[in-house]
């Protein structure tokens, strides 16, 4: 895919990975539509990206997604790339995390990409080479205690993404329409307090943004970061389940969220 001139919409673009990706794609010459539910932050986004379309969007709200899609349709005749980036994290054991936080995690991380992709699909279908990217997580491949509902949403996003790509193929759009991004912990503040497992450093947000841009250019289907995620996937295939879980405990994966605080400095 040629990113220069491509029409790209990013959800959750007012901070963290979304903002870093916006900067990376702007350097590549992409035309940007930047969205976020936090309207108080959109002013600074407009200031940094004066040529971008900047719109409020609550990904978990169907009417918000529809209104945003209608506004984009008035600005652009189509959409080349949709990046489902918006998401949230809640750490803690199942009972200590409130039902409201579990629900918010599922709505933002799983329901959100479904609603947003559905709302923007008519615009995407107007582009012969459209792509849909989903920011999932390495936790979508493995058990993650103290963040069970978060991990569940990332398993779900992967399932939705690969199923959607097959749906695109059946409908005659061809392959390589979907990119699933599965990074380990990223230094955005969302994972403050989390411990880096063995061979899995906390990723610098700019490097993840560059990786996503590179994956889009090369029509990749999956982007796993860092390389150790490939090792975890390989071991899951070849080891008996009890051995694999023991390895995750020894490597520190199973306890990596034990001291998570997030941006607020306290557990949810």
Known catalytic residues? 150, 154
CA angle, 99 then 112 then 196, to 5°: 70
CA 180/CA 139 separation, integer angstroms: 13
Contact 147, 260 (CB under 8 A): yes
How many other CB atoms are there within 10 angstroms of residue 151's CB atom?
22
DSSP 77: S
CA-nearest of 176, 191, 167, 169 to 264 is: 191
The tokens for 220 are 């990749």
CA 131/CA 78 separation, integer angstroms: 12
């Amino acid at each position: 895919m040629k990113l220069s001139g491509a029409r790209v919409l990013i959800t959750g673009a007012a901070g963290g990975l979304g903002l870093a990706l916006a900067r990376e794609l702007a350097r590549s010459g992409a035309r940007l539509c930047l969205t976020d539910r936090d309207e108080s932050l959109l002013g600074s986004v407009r200031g940094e990206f004066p040529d971008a379309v900047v719109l409020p969007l609550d990904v978990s709200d169907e009417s918000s997604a529809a209104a945003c899609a209608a506004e984009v349709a008035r600005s652009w005749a189509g959409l080349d790339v949709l990046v489902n980036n918006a998401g949230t994290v809640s750490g803690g054991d199942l009972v200590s995390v409130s039902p409201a936080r579990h629900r918010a995690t599922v709505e933002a991380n799983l329901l959100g990409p479904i609603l947003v992709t559905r709302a923007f699909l008519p615009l995407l279908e107007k582009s012969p080479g459209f792509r849909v990217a989903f920011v999932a997580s390495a936790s979508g491949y493995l058990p993650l205690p103290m963040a069970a509902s978060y991990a569940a949403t990332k398993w779900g996003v992967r399932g939705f993404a690969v199923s959607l790509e097959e749906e695109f193929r059946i409908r005659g759009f061809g392959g390589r329409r979907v990119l699933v991004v599965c990074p380990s912990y990223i230094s955005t503040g969302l994972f403050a307090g989390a411990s880096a497992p063995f061979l899995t450093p906390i990723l610098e947000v700019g490097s993840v943004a560059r990786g996503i841009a590179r994956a889009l250019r090369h029509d990749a289907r999956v982007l796993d970061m860092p390389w150790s995620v490939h090792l975890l996937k390989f071991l899951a295939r070849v080891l008996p389940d009890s051995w694999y879980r023991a390895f995750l405990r020894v490597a520190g994966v199973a306890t990596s969220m034990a001291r998570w605080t997030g941006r607020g400095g306290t557990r949810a």
